[in-house]
Structure 1
Amino acid sequence: MSALLELDGVVARMGAATVLGGICLSVRAGELVALCGPNGAGKSSAIRAALGLTPLHSGAARLGGEDVHRLSERERGARAAYLPQERHIAWNLPAIEVAALGAPFLSGAEALERARAALDEVGAAHLADRGVAEMSGGERARVLLARALVVQAPLLLADEPIAGLDPDAQILVLERLRARADAGGGVLVSLHDLTLAARIADRVVVLDAGRVVADAAPVEALSPAVMRSTFKLDGVWVEAPGGPLLAARRLSSQG
Structure 2
Amino acid sequence: MSLLSLEAVQARLGRAIVLDGVSLSVEAGEVVALCGPNGAGKSSAIRAAVGLLEMTGGQIRLGGADITDLSPRQRAQCVAYLPQERRIAWNLPAVEVAALGAPFLSGADALSRARAALGEVGAGHLADRGVAEMSGGERARVLLARALVIDAPLLLADEPIAGLDPDAQRLVLERLRARADDGAGVLVSLHDLTLAATVADRIVVLDRGRVVADAPPIQALSPAVLREVFGLDGAWIEGPNGPLLAARRAQ
Shorter-chain TM range is over 0.9
* Equivalent residue, structure 1, for 2:21: 22
* Equivalent residue, structure 2, for 1:77: 76
* Equivalent residue, structure 2, for 1:115: 114
What's the offset of the Cα at 1:119?
0.2
Q: TM-score, normalised by structure 1?
A: 0.98
Aligned equivalents of 1:71 and 1:222: distance in 2? 35
* Equivalent residue, structure 2, for 1:132: 131
Aligned equivalents of 1:202 and 1:51: distance in 2? 22
For the pair 1:12 / 2:7, whether they are aligned, the reply is no
What's the offset of the Cα at 1:67?
1.2
SS at match of 1:141: helix
Identical counterparts, % of pairs: 76
Question: CA-to-partner distance for each residue in 1:3-46, whole Å, 9 max, x for gaps?
Answer: 00000000111222111000100001001000000000000000
* Equivalent residue, structure 1, for 2:59: 60
Aligned equivalents of 1:209 and 1:239: distance in 2? 30
Which 5+ residue runs of structure 1 have no aligned equivalent? none
For the pair 1:35 / 2:34, whether they are aligned, the reply is yes
* Equivalent residue, structure 2, for 1:164: 163
* Equivalent residue, structure 2, for 1:143: 142
Question: CA-to-partner distance for each residue in 1:178-206, whole Å, 9 max, x for gaps?
Answer: 00000000000000000000000000000
SS at match of 1:29: coil
SS at match of 2:55: coil
Question: CA-to-partner distance for each residue in 1:205-241, whole Å, 9 max, x for gaps?
Answer: 0000000000000000000000000000011101011
Q: TM-score, normalised by structure 2?
A: 0.99
Alignment coverage as a number of residue pairs: 251
Q: Runs (4+) of structure 1 moved beyond 6 Å?
A: none
How is 1:155-194 mapped onto 2 (pairs within 5 angstroms)? Answer: 155-194=154-193
**RMSD after superposition:** 0.5
Aligned equivalents of 2:50 and 2:98: distance in 1? 20
Aligned equivalents of 1:207 and 1:13: distance in 2? 16
Which 5+ residue runs of structure 2 have no aligned equivalent? none
What's the offset of the Cα at 1:151?
2.4
Instruction: Please tell me the residue identity of whatever aligns with 1:35.
Output: L
* Equivalent residue, structure 1, for 2:246: 247
What's the offset of the Cα at 1:70?
1.4
How is 1:177-216 mapped onto 2 (pairs within 5 angstroms)? Answer: 177-216=176-215
